[in-house]
Structure 1
Amino acid sequence: MQDADDVIATAEREWRAMGVVPRDRAALAADLRRELEAAAADGITPRQLLGGADVRAFARRLAAESGAERLTYETERLLRTALAGAAPGLVLSWLLLWEQVPFGVDMPGALLVARHAICAAAVLVGALLAVRLRMRDVPGIDRTVWAMALLVPLAGALVTPLTMAFAWTTGYSTALPVLLFEAAMVGAALAGATLLARWWALTPALRDAQPVAPGH
């Protein structure tokens, strides 16, 4: 059955590359093994069964015909949802911090850090809630939210000093172009961390599946 094992291994690699979910990969592999074993019992080789077709093309056709579920990164939708969820936090932070409390150049550094930390927390909670609630139908979204909960704060910790440094160079200006640039810096960090979180969350699902044992 070495030839059959090679065919199945090649097919599984193709299904993984296509993003077929592990459950359906296992089912496809089991069905293919049964067909190969039945053909071998009749003296038909895997090459004859495939009709000389390329194994990868054959695997793609099997997956399409079976309606196998495929994981999708949904990056565009994920970014839109995360940024939409973060937007109210940014607006709320502006209203509560910059508008209601005078923002002075001589303000203690600890208070400046605290203000930015509050903004980051509002942005994070909004983004996580939006993704979790509005994308609950997407496979792997729970792992994505957990990954975002780890990576987005890390990105915020990295971008905050950069944003504060830029604000210092402008004398903590509240001019619209300055504020938009600061928001763009934060948004870029959020987007990058979100994309990385999605990739990280789906990586385990796209790893090599355990080989299907003969007869199962």
Structure 2
Amino acid sequence: MGKVDKGSVDISVEEVIALADREWRVMGVIEADRAGLVDDLWSELTGAAAEGLTPRQLLGGDIRGFVRDLAAGAGVRRVSYEFRRLFLTAFAGALPGLVLAWILLWERPLPLEPNLWLLTSQYLAFALLVLVGALVAVRWGMRGTAVIGRTVSRMALLVPLAGALATPVVMGLAALVDYSTALPAVAIEAAIVAAALGEAIVLARRWALAPALGPARAEASGVA
């Protein structure tokens, strides 16, 4: 279904409605306005079908572009994801912990026989400090933003999970390069962690806003 918007492949009315609903959810269109758009589009498509026109003949080749333009032209109400502000605020809150961890952990030479449990507890303590800093910054720096409290609670769940999933990948990569501290190796490892944490923040925000967006329609059989 991800490719039905390309080429000359026929697409059913139900598939168009499902595709449109997904696009409008991504745009942040609230449930009530999305339902109105669905009703209007359903009426147009079924009316055209009665006259022998297919959805593609009526809407053209770029159906995704059409439904996005339709929503923009209708002046629908939208919830704001504010991903850019969310990322910047979380990073600002995490930065003091990151700097402190760099100074106290990575800038100090390791002893000849390091205590594994002590090092592990130190890493966990600084990871917790970074997480708490990010959460506090988002909660207070974005106060007044829609469902920011719910966003923070979702971040508190998903960000540590993402970090836990990314850690074995990074450790495996580090082992492959013999734990090199060369800039390219460190940059790749940092990028993996940043991507995992960034995706966790995106999912947390989408999860928090899901009630405002309402459920997605898998098909249009109940719309008329």
Please give the TM-score of this superposition, normalised by the length of structure 2: 0.58
Q: Which runs of 4+ in 1 moved over 6 A?
A: 48-51, 138-141, 160-166, 178-183
Partner Cα separation in structure 1 for residue 135 and residue 174 of structure 2:
22
Which residue type is aligned with residue 166 of structure 2? A
> 2:67 pairs with 55, 59, 66, which one?
59
Name the structure 2 match of 1:174: none
Partner Cα separation in structure 1 for residue 87 and residue 95 of structure 2:
12
Name the structure 2 match of 1:147: 158
The C-alpha deviation readout for 1:154-184, integer Å capped at 9, x for no partner, is 4356547978999x979xxxxxxx7999985
Partner Cα separation in structure 2 for residue 189 and residue 104 of structure 1:
28
Matched residues, number: 197
Sequence identity, in percent?
30
Name the structure 2 match of 1:82: 90
> 1:91 pairs with 95, 99, 120, which one?
99
8 Å Cα contact 1:85-1:129 kept in structure 2: yes
Partner Cα separation in structure 2 for residue 195 and residue 139 of structure 1:
19
The 3 A distance-change label for structure 1 pair 17 and 71 is farther
> 2:22 pairs with 13, 16, 21, which one?
16
Could you list the runs of 5+ residues in structure 1 that have no partner in the other structure?
171-177
The 3 A distance-change label for structure 1 pair 88 and 184 is farther
Please give the TM-score of this superposition, normalised by the length of structure 1: 0.59
Name the structure 1 match of 2:129: 122
Larger Rg: 1
Which residue type is aligned with residue 155 of structure 1? A
Partner Cα separation in structure 1 for residue 117 and residue 176 of structure 2:
14
The C-alpha deviation readout for 1:50-95, integer Å capped at 9, x for no partner, is 9944282542332111233277583x54443333222111234456
Secondary structure of the structure 1 residue equivalent to 2:117: helix
The 3 A distance-change label for structure 1 pair 108 and 45 is same
Partner Cα separation in structure 2 for residue 60 and residue 16 of structure 1:
10
Secondary structure of the structure 1 residue equivalent to 2:113: coil
The 3 A distance-change label for structure 1 pair 188 and 81 is farther
> 2:198 pairs with 190, 195, 205, which one?
195
Which residue type is aligned with residue 25 of structure 1? R
Question: Per-residue deviation at 1:199?
Answer: 5.2
The 3 A distance-change label for structure 1 pair 103 and 6 is closer
The 3 A distance-change label for structure 1 pair 160 and 131 is farther
Partner Cα separation in structure 2 for residue 33 and residue 149 of structure 1:
43
The C-alpha deviation readout for 1:6-59, integer Å capped at 9, x for no partner, is 43531440342362346143331123335667x58xx97484999944282542
The 3 A distance-change label for structure 1 pair 126 and 158 is farther
- CA RMSD, Structure 1 to Structure 2 (Å): 5.0
Name the structure 1 match of 2:36: 27
Name the structure 2 match of 1:107: 114
The C-alpha deviation readout for 1:92-137, integer Å capped at 9, x for no partner, is 4456x459x9963333221122212212211222223334444563
Bigger shift: 114-123 or 19-28?
19-28
